[in-house]
Amino acid sequence: MTQALHPLAQRFRGYFPVVIDVETAGFNAKTDALLEIAATMLTMDDDGQLKPAQTLHFHIEPFAGANLEASSLAFNGIDPYNPLRGAVSEREALTEICKAVRKAQKDAGCQRAVVVAHNAAFDQSFLNAAIDRVKLKRSPFHAFVSFDTTTLAALALGQTVLAKACKQAGIEFDNKEAHSALYDTERTAELFCYIVNRWHQLGGWPAPLVAVDDDDVELNHSELAEADD
């Protein structure tokens, strides 16, 4: 008897969306410290409604030789060496996140995790740089594919700023809590779910069946395989 696919495994071409937010000591992922990271995993019910699930959150010790830009620290209000932060190493944080993501991804029947973030290129670059630094094996995350809620919010809501997009979507947003990786991740997860679910409600998913030529199908499969290499 064939086991039915989890609805999430059918929604994003087998990708498992994980919402990520980072707080950093600058804009250069190779040289500037990663100071905080949060990751929210998502689930989907039988009606196709996407919902936030488990969230992991870590304060992180600056890696050896990391650059700390004073302007960035003033902006996010982080004191990297405050013992009350309870900071852990990059390796410990990423190991725990990747372990949880792999389990949730497997449970959902998905093949690979994909970063969802607001201005995703920034968060993904710091995540990838940290994974490279600690030489973490078996990262579940796709190296370059991401879902950017900045773009999605511009399309769906006419807003690109996270706080304004949340307000437009009816999601509570406290500016005093912003620029915390935990808070921003949870709000971004709500925003992403809102946009995906709204598209579903409007009849945009499941996508209408369109007849295609066999040659086009073969070409598309070939292009997808090359993109995943």
Asked if 20 contacts 124 with a C-beta cutoff of 8 angstroms, the reply is yes
Among 57, 179, 200, 221, the one annotated catalytic: 179
Between the alpha carbon of residue 197 and those of residues 44, 105, 189, the distances in Å are 10, 20, 12
How far is residue 153's CA from residue 133's CA, in Å, rounded to a whole number? 32
Residue corresponding to tokens 């490279």: 132
The SS3 of residue 53 is: strand
The SS3 of residue 136 is: coil
Give the single-character DSSP code of 202. T
Residue 118 annotated to the active site:
no
Asked if 187 contacts 38 with a C-beta cutoff of 8 angstroms, the reply is no
187: tokens are: 């709000």
Give the single-character DSSP code of 68. -
Catalytic residue annotation: 179
